[in-house]
Structure 1
Amino acid sequence: MEQEQHGYQCRGAFVLVTLLLTGLVFFLYQADFSVKTSQPAQPVVVELKRFTLDTNPDPAPRGPARIIRVLSTRNEHVLATLSPYGSGFERELLQRFADQYDYSLYWMHSRSPEEAWKALTKGEADLFIGLGFEPSEVLHHKVEAGPAYAHYRPVAVSVKAPAGSAFCPDTVLVTANTTLSAGKLTSDLCGSTRRRLSARRLPTLLGNVAGSKDAVAVVDSGRFRLWQPFFPALKAVTPMGRPVPYRWYWSESRPGLARDLSLFWKSSRSKRVLSQLTELYFGFLPKHTDPYAMHQLVQRVRYGASVWGDDIVRASKKYEIDPLLLMAVIYQESRFDAEAVSATGVRGLLQITADTARTLGIDRSNPHQAIEGGARYLKSLWDSLEGWNLSKWDRWFFTLAAYNQGPKNLEKAREKAISMGGEGATWSELKSIYPLLSKRTSCRGNEAVRYVQRVRFYYYVLHGLVVLAGPEMEDLGALSRVVSLETSPFS
């Protein structure tokens, strides 16, 4: 299969990617707005007092004693909009707890962590899952802090690196829903003339920084990684301060709930769930986004959609594959080059082997047949995993690994995982197993891992671009008709 390609080594490409990607989202985020996603609609919300409440948290509530009033700020870590992989890391983690202990969730979204903290200490909520938050006051005796399940360091984000050792930006920006402070930017050479600006949402802040060569934003590295692909001109220019813990806080006024939460976080199940969700939502993200690679992705996807969009739409609907996922696979395989030939002899848009092409009865050099045949082969691999008892996404990741290195090598990886005491049922497990196959078999295990991770990343970026642009998105050509996905296995 084809490896990562890096063209565009000139300065002009940097300007182009800024115009194509940063420019795309910058004007949309000059004012706060509600993002329209291609995922199922979230419950209707209304303003009540100073919180935004979900009006239908559970279609069959189990009574007041089993309802948890949950407070959070609106952000990508809690409630996903960019990601195609689920409702959100924090939201899904809490739902796993609620399912295990038979609770219903009633979501309340606050404007800031400080506001949520005050509501929790006053008994107006039962649980606060604000991320990257440390209360300035000593913990209230009626509030318990859960264990820190992750740490992210605050970073200064800018379009350019600071000159020399002095770092004195004219403008410092922070978001209103974080406890990170502009005051964290300190230097012996800095005066007191810096302006501090704020924005309700992180993308608004990043858009403003991307549009200024002098402005700097203070964000935590965890949240910045989720947004950086859509602001490729931005980079973390310097780490700042000590790492910020991510944890839950809950009221002790409900002893039963407090006991269940404590038991959950002490259990081996929580560690397993935490590992799986971390891999699902963040495991594919690169440490840094290459702006030139992002430029190439957008350019080639635009080209592919304009030339073969109708074929992709037909194949996606016929074989129940998200068209954006299919596009991510095509991009990884050939960069939408219908004449691409790899060193191992595979060729065409989907880089299909000669044997597989004969089995499928297609001419792999014909792009129309290659798209239909590649989608059919992906679906056949998916169907072959029916009895493996996999989650939806692990099943797709296994399918991608089998597409890259063959179904027999997937079976070997699974068998080896089981022989080593595992279950062979998650991609997070097989990620560490595949490289071991390279030592004794013909399987290129490291390549399989890179392949799956790259396809996942491209899929995330394509989905995010569609979400951000909403109905105005035209770059995907014919695919713009189906990105809202009437019916799909991803709904």
Structure 2
Amino acid sequence: MTHEHHRREHAKELRAKLRPYLPYFIIAALVLWGVLDLLLFHDRVDPSLQAIEDSGTLVIATVPGPTTYYEGREGPTGYEYELTKALANDLGVEAEYRLFSSVPDVLLALKEGRAHIAAAGLTVTPAREALYAFSPSYQSVKEIVVCRRGGPRLKKLTDLADTELVVPAGTSYAERLAELREKSLAEKAEFITWRESNETTEALFAQIADDEIGCTVADTPIFKVNRRLYPELRAALDLTPQREIAWAYAKEAVVLGAYLEEWFAKKKKAGLIERLDHRFFDYFPEFDYVDISRFRRDIEEKLPDYRGDLEDAADRYGLPWHLLAAISYQESRWNPSARSPTGVRGFMMLTLATAEEVGVEDRLDPEESIEGGAKYFAELIDRIPEDVKGTDRYWFALAAYNMGMGHLYDARLLAERRGLNKSSWTDLREVLPLLMDPKYYKSLRHGYARGREAQRYVSQVRSYLHILEGVI
């Protein structure tokens, strides 16, 4: 009997033994396939507008970050979050956010059908337009080279050939650098070299500040938001002219695209884009390297002595302690002995009348001053009309803290007269300087006020708040 014959006989016996179990193998295979299908495909979405409306859910892919989506004091917030949330509200559906670690991952999720919209501060590029459709643009930005103060002095693009440059992998920055390198090679000029990293732009900023890498590339709004966290950063060179930022969606979702065209036109006309621009990017005062550097130093050297009192007082009056710390820094630079020629003094720079009102006996006692300032600010918030919502209540109260509640009411009336939203800080701040103009203040109950000073005051406190929330 040959070896081949033995092999066939053995195979026959094995099949006979396994035959009774065949149905179980089939069932097991089907179950395994079902599990794989659930794991790999359960999060797929139909990209059409009709499917979004039928399902009651708009799925948005984004990356967490200060210019996109992050957890704020009252829950999720961020430019992309607020804008996409407005879209979902107008569609009458819920917004579901799927967070990814990088822009390439966001675009991959869209390509694989795991999101209806990619909203992550996406630059519209030819390479991306070949794969995705884009909404109307809602921002114009420049891509700039960001380096450390005292780092390389860049005057032209060819200077980048001698610069250590690190950019996030798979981004429009890398695309642009590749274009520039091809151009350099064609012209037989010095070509740019760079390294791609899996780190985010914000992480690369930190490495530049710590002098671990040379430079990176970023959009102007991202740089503007982060330079207060890292005052060592500077804009060294423009890499591109203005480029458009938009949402990406599937090319086959034609009806969704038409809806977005109309929706953005309406929202721009209604002022939503302008309000979001101010809320997230434009409220900062002019960047002051010396002031921001001193503030960062004071956070390390002065704040620890008062943090406990600030946290305790904030907790008692339902305030964010970071906000109370920002107010006190703007008032006294965390100096409990601070005095002003106008008579205000102490850590929170209380007037004598305010101190008596809130029960502060010694304005130069930092614990008493913090307690009194927190109580007074909480009372101001309570006096803000109920039609003012969310964090705008803080900004209204800050303006009142600076110029008085009566002048704040006057500003609301003036905003209403000019056809603006008296309940929106973005609109109210526009009219504050008019409180200094007799053409306007003569018709107001409380008359003249230093409205421009109040405008700057709120911006400065918000700037300090932004830094505190970023570093603590």
TM-score using structure 1 length: 0.74
**Equivalence for 1:205:** 204
Give deviations 1:243-288, integer Å, cap 9, x for gaps: 2211112336456644543332121477432222222222323454
How far off its partner does 1:300 sit?
A: 2.9
CA contact (8 A) 2:62 2:69 kept: no
How far off its partner does 1:212 sit?
A: 3.7
Counterparts of 1:38-187 in structure 2, within 5 Å, are: 65-80=55-70, 86-110=76-100, 112-113=102-103, 116-117=106-107, 120=110, 123-137=113-127, 139=129, 144-159=133-148, 160=150, 162-163=152-153, 165=155, 167-168=159-160, 169-176=162-169, 178-181=171-174, 182-183=177-178
Pick closer, same or farther for the CA change 1:366–1:50 going to 2, 3 Å: farther
Counterparts of 1:30-429 in structure 2, within 5 Å, are: 65-80=55-70, 86-110=76-100, 112-113=102-103, 116-117=106-107, 120=110, 123-137=113-127, 139=129, 144-159=133-148, 160=150, 162-163=152-153, 165=155, 167-168=159-160, 169-176=162-169, 178-181=171-174, 182-183=177-178, 191-192=190-191, 194-212=193-211, 215-251=214-250, 253-254=252-253, 257-268=256-267, 271-286=270-285, 288=287, 290=289, 292-363=290-361, 364-387=363-386, 389-429=387-427
Deviates more, 1:221-230 or 1:207-216: 207-216
**Equivalence for 1:461:** 467
Pick closer, same or farther for the CA change 1:404–1:244 going to 2, 3 Å: same
Give deviations 1:219-251, integer Å, cap 9, x for gaps: 111112222222221211111222221111233
How far off its partner does 1:448 sit?
A: 0.2
**Equivalence for 1:5:** none
How much is the aligned-residue C-alpha RMSD, in angstroms? 3.3
| Partner SS, residue 235 of structure 2 | strand
Percent identical residues: 24
CA contact (8 A) 2:153 2:236 kept: no
CA contact (8 A) 1:170 1:214 kept: no
Provide the rounded CA distance (Å) in 2 between the counterparts of 1:50 and 1:79: 25
| Partner SS, residue 62 of structure 2 | strand
Provide the rounded CA distance (Å) in 1 between the counterparts of 2:338 and 2:75: 30
Query: What is the aligned residue count?
Result: 410
Provide the rounded CA distance (Å) in 1 between the counterparts of 2:303 and 2:153: 42
Give deviations 1:446-471, integer Å, cap 9, x for gaps: 110110011111111111112xxxxx
Give deviations 1:68-111, integer Å, cap 9, x for gaps: 23233444322226898952210121012112211223333456
| Partner SS, residue 267 of structure 1 | helix
CA contact (8 A) 1:84 1:460 kept: no
Greater length-normalized contact order (CA 8 Å, ≥ 6 residues apart): 1
Pick closer, same or farther for the CA change 1:465–1:49 going to 2, 3 Å: farther
Provide the rounded CA distance (Å) in 1 between the counterparts of 2:188 and 2:254: 52
Q: Which has the larger radius of gyration?
A: 2
Pick closer, same or farther for the CA change 1:148–1:128 going to 2, 3 Å: same
CA contact (8 A) 1:62 1:104 kept: no
| Partner SS, residue 67 of structure 2 | coil
Provide the rounded CA distance (Å) in 2 between the counterparts of 1:249 and 1:349: 49
Indicate the structure with greater helix content.
2
